[in-house]
Amino acid sequence: MAAMANFFSNPHHDNRQLAYWLLGVAVLIYAMVVLGGVTRLTGSGLSIVEWDPIMGAIPPLNETQWQTTFTKYQQSPQYQQVNRGMSLEEFKYIFGYEYAHRLLGRLIGVAFLLPLLYFLYKRKIRGQLLPKLIVIFLLGALQGFLGWYMVQSGLINEPRVSQYRLALHLSTAVMLYAAILWLAWGLLRPEPVQTWKYSMQSLQRWALGVTLLICVMMLSGAFVAGTHAGKVFNTFPLMNGQFIPAGILAYSPWYHNLFENLATVQFDHRLIAYLLMVFIPGLWLYARRYTLSPVTRFSLHLLLVVFAVQIGLGISTLLEMAPVGLATAHQAGALLTFTLALHLNHTLRRGRSF
């Protein structure tokens, strides 16, 4: 019995428990981002016109409640300008996606908070881990608020959410996802950060640069989604016969083009993809001169393969004018590409793989 007690109080064992819990939360956040893309693509994101974090977890349970909820939706700009004449059954379809999205958000909150309280009670959280977990919890709460802040922008005049708020919502989700993964990987590999010679530091910087560029790519994708820029210039490799489309600087002041001009928004997204098509294979080739751990090397190989698939998904999504299935796969692929790049950075920083 004493040996068993010592096993369950072992810091290494506790760290692995904490890591597996955080990895589980990260999987839920990944699913949340993908499901969020589905709600946007199906026009479901504006179907619930109220924000009720507690009672909103209970859906309409009878025909009277459904009719009341539908009546509220009928006052929204989306119904008035886009879905006028929609039946109650059609409303239930779009309501289901948005309800699932919000319910998953609540589930993530519970999946994080309850185990956190349990691990605190069991005194398994040590050192500087608790402040980091508190920051993550607060960031998650902020993410929930930003989700409603985004939806609210589509309930006033125009039946679409602000691309700026969409980008902020997605960026916060990715930040939360990355923080949880980084913390979980650190718990699985508690060794101190490795001090590398200069040549290895250059590889680290290259990997970090690629990861940051992937982040910019995802942010650019949020503006493509928010402005529906994927519905225009549906040709490749040229944009309706031109590499640089006409009207790319039509808005004034000039910087509005970066976020509101459909031609510029799509061109920027393509341009970042072209840069990654150079830098990710370049990183892979540059890393071949180093003796790396098997998992680090595998992360590099997988990053290259997944990114190639992601490019194919992006081109297909563009040519087919962003159908739900392809566009969802493209969004999921973007987050997977980011995950692999982040893991590569972590293994390079730690020096060896777990």
- pLDDT, residue 173, reads 96
CA distance 207 to 213: 10
- pLDDT, residue 3, reads 43
Q: Is residue 353 part of a domain?
A: yes
pTM for the full predicted model: 0.92
Tell me: do 271 and 322 sit in the same domain.
yes
- pLDDT, residue 290, reads 87
- DSSP string spanning 69-103? HHHHHHTSHHHHHT-TT--HHHHHHHHHHHHHHHH
Tell me: do 12 and 70 sit in the same domain.
yes
Q: Which amino acid is at 88?
A: L
Q: What is the pLDDT of residues 311-345, one digit of tens each?
A: 999 999 999 999 999 999 999 999 999 999 999 99
Tell me: do 147 and 207 sit in the same domain.
no
- pLDDT, residue 5, reads 43
Q: Is residue 312 part of a domain?
A: yes
Tell me: do 153 and 263 sit in the same domain.
no
Tell me: do 166 and 208 sit in the same domain.
no
Tell me: do 221 and 167 sit in the same domain.
no
- Token couple for 19: 């890591």
CA distance 215 to 102: 24
Domain boundary among 142, 160, 190: 190
Q: CA distances (Å), 265 to each of 164, 226, 249, 260, in order?
A: 13, 10, 11, 7
Q: CA distances (Å), 305 to each of 261, 290, 311, 333, in order?
A: 32, 20, 10, 11
| Rg of the chain, C-alpha, whole Å | 23
- pLDDT, residue 340, reads 97
Burial (CB count <10 Å: 0-12, 13-18, 19+), residue 117: exposed
Tell me: do 253 and 216 sit in the same domain.
yes
Query: How many domains does the chain fold into?
Result: 2
Q: Is residue 3 part of a domain?
A: no
Burial (CB count <10 Å: 0-12, 13-18, 19+), residue 213: middle
CA distance 249 to 242: 15
Neighbours of 271 (CB within 10 A): 14
Q: Is residue 129 part of a domain?
A: yes
Q: Which residues contact 232 (CB under 8 A, 6 or more apart)?
A: 262, 263, 266
| Chain center to CA of 71 | 32
| Chain center to CA of 153 | 20
Domain boundary among 168, 190, 212: 190
Q: Is residue 232 part of a domain?
A: yes
Q: Is residue 1 part of a domain?
A: no
CA distance 44 to 226: 14
Tell me: do 60 and 156 sit in the same domain.
yes
CB 250 within 8 A of CB 261: yes
Task: For residue 163, give the 3-state DSSP assignment.
Answer: helix
- pLDDT, residue 293, reads 87
User: 292: domain range?
Assistant: 193-354
239 bridge partner residues: 242
Biggest CA-to-CA distance, the chain: 76
Tell me: do 145 and 259 sit in the same domain.
no
Tell me: do 226 and 349 sit in the same domain.
yes
Q: Is residue 268 part of a domain?
A: yes
Tell me: do 68 and 129 sit in the same domain.
yes
Domain boundary among 150, 172, 190: 190
8-state DSSP, 245 = -
Q: Is residue 303 part of a domain?
A: yes
Alpha-carbon torsion 109, 141, 334, 320, what sign?
A: positive
- pLDDT, residue 190, reads 67
| Chain center to CA of 208 | 18
- pLDDT, residue 7, reads 43
Q: What is the pLDDT of residues 212-221, one digit of tens each?
A: 999 999 999 9
CB 49 within 8 A of CB 339: no
- Tell me the mean pLDDT per 10 residues along the chain, length 354: 47 86 98 96 92 86 95 94 94 95 96 96 90 96 93 90 95 97 90 57 92 97 94 93 93 94 97 97 93 91 97 96 95 97 90 42
Tell me: do 305 and 197 sit in the same domain.
yes
